[in-house]
Amino acid sequence: MDKLTYYDTLANLLPGVVFLWAISVLGPIPGDKVPLLLTSNTIIDSILFVALGYVVGHLIQFISRYSIEPFIKWAFWKGLFFSDIYLVGAFKKCSEVELRRYVSFAETKLGFSADDLSVLQDPNVLSDNTKKKKSLELSRAIYRTVDAKTQDASLALKAHSQNTFYSLFRNLSAVFLLLGAANLCALLFKTVSPSYIICFATIFNFLAALAFMIRAKQRGELYVKGLFWSYI
């Protein structure tokens, strides 16, 4: 069996383990009611806990992709991925000097047409739906080309690691959002007695979810920027 990859460990296993640990500390379920020990064998239980954390981590990955990620895109990136808008000058996500350099590189080294690339530097592109669609497709295509070439050549390793951290922070945001929502539901439906501890945990969970969401946004942008900085 293959070993867990760096991505699997950080993006899937770690959030799953954090959720299983935090549900009895920051969630509405008391610790003595969470059956972490399943066989009373320390070694076997540790293996089962890690395996369960990995499975839970994949579920959190799925939840975060359809909850946290759309919100990040809506709040920070005009409802799109950062890679879709990074090379579109009208969105002003990179400087004019950088954009000219990237456009020139895309033409001379990646084989994109100069006529097609001109739309990326059009200041009025957002007012024309046809040009806007074309510019977004071009930005996405150039990014994917650079991403593939750097992976094939084992380049921009630091930039690619930012993508792993993007997934990690996005998934951790989902973890604390789920815990906060569980606490809030428990308080509203009175399945737990209101207390300073549960109220503090609820507030903490929502703030942690927001903090990790912002960190995910930052790492997502560093990933795309780092690819171009390293490769070009």
pLDDT 10s digits, 149-182: 999 888 889 999 999 999 999 999 999 999 999 9
Quick one: pLDDT at residue 35?
56
Quick one: pLDDT at residue 1?
41
Quick one: pLDDT at residue 27?
78
Report the predicted TM-score, pTM, of the whole model to 2 decimal places: 0.89
Share of the chain above pLDDT 90, in %: 69
Is there a contact between 51 and 59 (Cβ–Cβ < 8 Å)? no
Quick one: pLDDT at residue 34?
56
Residue 223 is encoded by which pair of tokens? 């990933």
Distance CA 143, CA 110 (A): 11
Count of alpha carbons within 13 angstroms of residue 55, beta-carbon side: 6
Distance CA 220, CA 166 (A): 5
Under 8 Å CB-to-CB from 141, ≥6 apart: which residues? 112
- Residues of the chain short of pLDDT 70, as ranges, are 1-3, 29-40, 191, 193
